[in-house]
Chains A and B, each alone.
Chain A
Amino acid sequence: MSQRRIGVYVCQCGGNISDYVDVERVASQAADNADVVIARTAMFTCSDATQADIAEDIRQHQLDGLVVASCSPKLHTLTFRGVAERAGLNPYQYTQVNLREQCSWAHTDDRKGATDKAVTLVEAGIGRTRLTEPLNPLVVDTMPKALVIGAGITGMRAAVGLADLGMEVYLVEKQATVGGWLKSMDTMYPAGKTPKEIIDQLDEQIHQRSNVTVFTEAEVVQKGGTFGNYVVKVALHRPTEQTISLNVGSIIVATGFDVYQPEIGQYGYGIDGVLTLPEFQDFLKTNPGPMVYHGRPVRTVSYIYCVGSREGREQPNAHTYCSRYCCTSTVHTALEVFKHDPGVHQYHLYRDVRTYGKYELLYSESREKGSLYLKFAADQPPAVERTGDQLKVTVNDLLTSRKELAIPSDLVVLVTGIIPRENDALVHALKLPVGKDGFYNEIHPKLRPVETVVDGVYIAGACQNPKTAGESAASALAAVTQSASILKKGKVQLDPQVAFIDASECTGCGACLKVCPYEAISAQSGDNGQSAYVVSEAICKGCGGCVPECPVEAIRVQGYTNAEIRAMIDGLLMEEVEQI
């Protein structure tokens, strides 16, 4: 094997790696490798400055292989492929080594063990890079059409955004009407438009655009085809049951959330006068003027925050996250209550007030108007019981010398959070990645916030994590930009890491052909009358399912050849192999 010219960069990740791994030792051991021309460490390899340095090294040292040992390949493989490409190195001669998620962070208790492991991981990366060949991506046509699933504020905003960029849009909604949760709300923060006005306006914009088709009472049941040209089957339940087929380039999932429903008995839920926040908001909607509940005037309202949110991990199926919308929604609701009747006493029993951003002003306003805030500890939640005509809320107030206070109340409002919506059929059809909390997972919350691991499938809005309406609409636009920027080009590059058959080694046995589920392999008659087997690059998904079937290793997946994997195994066993 001729000598290669490989550059190795070991990232400190601002301490995330270097606090637990001796990165200088990792780099210096990499430098001992005969094929390594340059090995360096950097504070942040992904920073613009270091990227520029790497590109400069590639040009100056005429590197023909690149290894970056930093975070998970899911985050920065594309970044460094880009660096390679800009500097004239084929991007597929680059290997990303996972030194953070699978080394430093997993072994924070063992610096020597982590460093030894890091050395072998980098050695494996070098071993693989040594065998890489330049690959050129296949370019396929994409159609400027998109499917949006779910017509809440997120899906509606996405549909309008895509249409305005000249795309053909299909908007599929399960319910009979569009609007999601907002359509049934009477008021909302920020002040200005009502939820109904917002939804009506979006609905009107959708109707004005001839390139948006809305299907209500409809569901996606199947997805086939490839990125750029997906074939999606949609079941229409009205006017008659039928299934239609749509060709789209990309898919935006905007299926929203559900609200937490307390158990009977939880904070007195089930007792007359104990309501969830949405139930209380509904009650206000139908009770203009001073409030009367079940014939009794309402003079005192107590709110209990964080019900069904921020639960301790020890609880089974705990909702450990903050639902984000509810502090501000409660403060906003309290201000609405003052409009009904300025004399109502309102007690807010909270853990932390998270009226973030400009909504701090709403919090101040509610206090000025007379709302009282009492802080309780997570392990000492308030108790609710009925005593005669009234409800009694008992709470241990953390801020006034931990006195136990009893608040006689006419209504108790449980500030319930947001939970992920059941959508198993859709998750299955689209192969959506579901996170630990039950919401859909983006590739990276900051770097690639609306993309999923499934090419061309994006997520936006509250199906991804709890979001306010404004945040939901913003994420819809991010998904619009991501998907339209690709589809508008009319072409997309497909990953060239797919199967190929080395004709000089293939014996024509046909074993691979039988196992490919995508029918990517076909037999063609060759010059000498013998059949030659070939793989269609556009159809092959690069799964590798065919590889173990070949008795002579003639079929290989680019970037994952058995030879490359063996080289990685040798690298990982560095000391052992050297001893042999």
Chain B
Amino acid sequence: METLREADEVTAVMSQTQIEFEPRILVFSTNNISDPGIDLAGSSHLHYSPRVVTIAVPCSSGISSSLIEYALKRGFDGVFLAADGDECAYLSDCNERTANHVADAQKWMKIHGFQPERLRMAAICSVCAEPFVNYMHEFSRTLTALGPAGDKNHGL
């Protein structure tokens, strides 16, 4: 009886931490294309987790892998690159460039024990309000299943 109750408590505590864990997501958006899409999600009052925050830059290809690594090291549970599809006003090959930086970051993540699912890249257009919100729901679920990242439980 005693042991059983203990086990119950442990499960209770575990499921509680599971419920309370809401992953922190950093989105890198682009000023002209994907950030307006994310704005539109808000203007349309589409909800997503308030633990999702966005930093807007001119073009996703300007995001160095070191910045992605920094975000994960410091405590974000996932990083999402909201790229431009083929609408970027600056660079026609910006997706390829961004993908290269993503690949670099993935290598680093592998070495440092971050699951590859913690980094995602997708094209978000200036009216992609619903796709963005769907991505965020899906990404939140994935990260919740993975649990907290980085030195919070990886002992980095």
Residues of A in contact with B (beta carbons under 8 Å apart): 72-74, 98, 100-110, 113-114, 116-117, 120-121, 124, 431, 433-436, 441, 453-454, 497, 515, 517, 541-545, 547-548, 557, 560, 562, 565-566, 568-570, 572-573, 576-577
**Bound form: Cα–Cα A441–B67 in Å:** 32
Given contacts A105-B42, A453-B32, A569-B74, contact A548 B26 (CB under 8 A): no
> Which residue from B56, B89, B94 sits with its C-beta under 8 Å from A454?
B89
Residues of B within 8 A of A569 (CB): 26, 55, 67, 70-71, 74, 76
CB distance from A29 to the nearest CB of B (A): 16
**Number of residue pairs A-B, CB distance < 8 angstroms:** 144
> Which residue from A72, A106, A544, A560 sits with its C-beta under 8 Å from B48?
A106
Interchain residue pairs with CB less than 8 A apart (10): A106-B42, A107-B47, A108-B45, A117-B53, A121-B53, A433-B32, A434-B127, A569-B70, A569-B74, A572-B55
Closest 5 CB pairs of A and B: A544-B62, A113-B50, A543-B90, A576-B75, A101-B42
Closest to A108 in B: B45
**Bound form: Cα–Cα A560–B48 in Å:** 26
Residues of A within 8 A of B64 (CB): 547-548, 562
CB distance from B97 to the nearest CB of A (A): 6
Q: B66, A562: Cβ atoms under 8 Å?
A: yes
From 47 to 96 in chain B, residues with beta carbon under 8 angstroms from any chain A beta carbon are 47-51, 53-59, 61-67, 70-71, 74-76, 87, 89-94
Q: Does B123 contact A (CB under 8 A)?
A: no
Q: Does B153 contact A (CB under 8 A)?
A: no
Q: A102, B42: Cβ atoms under 8 Å?
A: yes
For B26, B51, B90, which residue has the most chain A Cβ atoms within 10 angstroms? Answer: B90
Q: Does B126 contact A (CB under 8 A)?
A: yes
Interface string of B89-122 (1 = CB under 8 A from A): 1111110010001000000000000000000000
Residues of A within 8 A of B70 (CB): 566, 569
For A116, A124, A562, which residue has the most chain B Cβ atoms within 10 angstroms? Answer: A562
Closest to B127 in A: A436
Q: B74, A577: Cβ atoms under 8 Å?
A: yes
CB distance from A458 to the nearest CB of B (A): 16
Residues of B within 8 A of A105 (CB): 42-43, 45
**Bound form: Cα–Cα A435–B46 in Å:** 17
Closest to A579 in B: B75
Give the segment of B3-11, B12-20, B33-41 that binds chain A: B33-41
Given contacts A436-B40, A545-B97, A565-B57, contact A116 B50 (CB under 8 A): yes
> Which residue from B65, B87, B91 sits with its C-beta under 8 Å from A545?
B91
Given contacts A120-B53, A570-B74, contact A548 B39 (CB under 8 A): no
Q: B91, A517: Cβ atoms under 8 Å?
A: yes
For A101, A107, A431, A543, which residue has the most chain B Cβ atoms within 10 angstroms? Answer: A543
**Bound form: Cα–Cα A72–B62 in Å:** 22
CB distance from A380 to the nearest CB of B (A): 28
Q: A565, B67: Cβ atoms under 8 Å?
A: yes
Q: A548, B74: Cβ atoms under 8 Å?
A: no
Q: B58, A562: Cβ atoms under 8 Å?
A: no
Closest to A109 in B: B47
**Bound form: Cα–Cα A557–B58 in Å:** 10
Closest to A541 in B: B90
6 further A-B contacts with Cβ under 8 Å, apart from A74-B36, A548-B97, are A107-B47, A107-B48, A109-B47, A433-B32, A434-B126, A544-B63
Q: A573, B76: Cβ atoms under 8 Å?
A: yes
Q: B63, A548: Cβ atoms under 8 Å?
A: yes
Closest to A576 in B: B75
**Bound form: Cα–Cα A577–B24 in Å:** 13
Residues of B within 8 A of A431 (CB): 87, 89
**Bound form: Cα–Cα A114–B45 in Å:** 13
Q: A101, B94: Cβ atoms under 8 Å?
A: no
**Bound form: Cα–Cα A441–B40 in Å:** 12
CB distance from A226 to the nearest CB of B (A): 12
Residues of A within 8 A of B55 (CB): 124, 565, 568-569, 572
Residues of B within 8 A of A565 (CB): 55, 57, 67
Q: B59, A544: Cβ atoms under 8 Å?
A: yes
**Bound form: Cα–Cα A100–B40 in Å:** 11
CB distance from A303 to the nearest CB of B (A): 33
**Bound form: Cα–Cα A124–B55 in Å:** 9
Residues of A within 8 A of B59 (CB): 543-545
Q: A117, B51: Cβ atoms under 8 Å?
A: yes
Residues of A within 8 A of B53 (CB): 117, 120-121, 124, 572
Closest to B60 in A: A544
> Which residue from A434, A435, A548 sits with its C-beta under 8 Å from B101?
A548
